[in-house]
Homo-oligomer: A and B are copies of this chain.
Amino acid sequence: DHERVLLGHGSGGRLSADLVGRVFLPEFGNEVLSALEDAATLTIDPRGEATRDQANRIAFTTDSFVVKPLFFPGGDIGKLAVHGTVNDLAVSGAQPLYLSAAFILEEGFQIDPLRRIVRSMRQACAAAGVALVTGDTKVVDRGKGDQIFITTTGIGVHRVDRDLSIHNARPGDAVIVSGTIGDHGITIMSTREGIEFETALESDTAPLNGLVEAMLEACPTIRAMRDPTRGGVSSTLNELAVASHVGIVLDEASLPVKPAVHSACEMLGLDPLYVANEGKLIAVVPGDRAEPLVEVMRRHPLGRDAAVIGRVVSEHPAMVVLRNAIGGQRVVSLLAGEQLPRIC
């Protein structure tokens, strides 16, 4: 047949999972890749052999950034490219150390915005404590790209022998989010559509490694973390529920949502659970550790609005359910369509 790539294959939702599962994994599939974590965990010893014991455990992750527009309230493609990769390392429990950056530039793109993007990346690297140590620059002819695409890849080191994994959630665990949801996606969407808000809304793009360090120090029993980027919190929780063979019950009233995001979602017919975040994390912890951990998170600038939003149950494995204030409930499935292309 003549099946083709759809915009939805980049959504982070069901079509994304389909494409990875049907086209990429069957070929590339190996134990590390097939775990579908935010970052691969590798062991490297001085003889280049992968043995667990006397070896360093390294985290390795990559993301391309194709966001449109390039500059938006709260950030730009360069910040996003640094934070995105730093965050995939951080939520894996690794300390981000080194980045690479590969640029695909469109002929005719102006050097001035390129400089601003590069400066922004440098600042983001400094703030996150990572060094950009290798790069690449390709140019495609006019009309065959879109100004600039950036691919960053990161290396981090696992300091302690701890295994955070989306396969680790267990009934009785609590689900925590580090702050308000949907800020990034709604900012991009409204910038594109020219929608204005009464209160300023900004992308939440930020490096999460500092927050994660504080969290791991306070709560060594954290089971899993993930950054709910494309596809939003719904995707992350569905991935967790599938990987751990557990059910998840969300409490609608406890979801932190900014008023501006709430009204934009109402206006656009969107659900904040499906909207992308670029500076938030989801954590799964043993139930009795949740409140103390949230206290710790709230003391960090990037965790001020942290909240317990749900719990892990043995019922309805691989399924996420949302309970509202009056006790109604509905299934929160993976994003089905494309929602908003080129969000990151």
Classify the secondary structure of A's interface with B: mixed
Within 8 A of B (CB), among A136-171: 136-141, 143-146, 149, 151, 153, 155, 157, 159
Q: Is the CB of A133 within 8 A of B40?
A: yes
A60 neighbours in B (Cβ, 8 Å): 98, 100, 133-134, 155
Q: State whether A109 and B4 are in contact (beta carbons under 8 Å apart), knowing that A44-B56, A62-B135, A134-B40 are contacts in the complex.
A: yes
For residue A6, which residue of chain B has the nearest CB? B107
Q: Is the CB of B45 within 8 A of A56?
A: yes
Q: Is the CB of A98 within 8 A of B153?
A: no
Report copies per complex.
Answer: 2
For residue A67, which residue of chain B has the nearest CB? B138
A143 neighbours in B (Cβ, 8 Å): 143
For residue A107, which residue of chain B has the nearest CB? B7
- Among B3, B56, B62, B115, point to the contact of A101 (Cβ < 8 A): B62
Within 8 A of B (CB), among A5-56: 5-10, 16, 19-20, 23-24, 27-28, 30, 32-33, 39-40, 42, 44-48, 50, 56
Q: Is the CB of B97 within 8 A of A137?
A: no
Q: Is the CB of A66 within 8 A of B137?
A: no
Chain A interface residue count, CB cutoff 8 Å, equals 83
Q: Is the CB of A134 within 8 A of B104?
A: no
**A108 on the B face (CB < 8 A):** yes
A273 neighbours in B (Cβ, 8 Å): none
Q: Is the CB of B157 within 8 A of A46?
A: yes
A50 neighbours in B (Cβ, 8 Å): 97
- Among B46, B62, B118, B151, point to the contact of A134 (Cβ < 8 A): B62
In the bound complex, CA of A2 to CA of B19 (Å): 41
A-B complex: 4 closest residue pairs judged by Cβ atoms: A10-B139, A153-B153, A62-B100, A151-B151
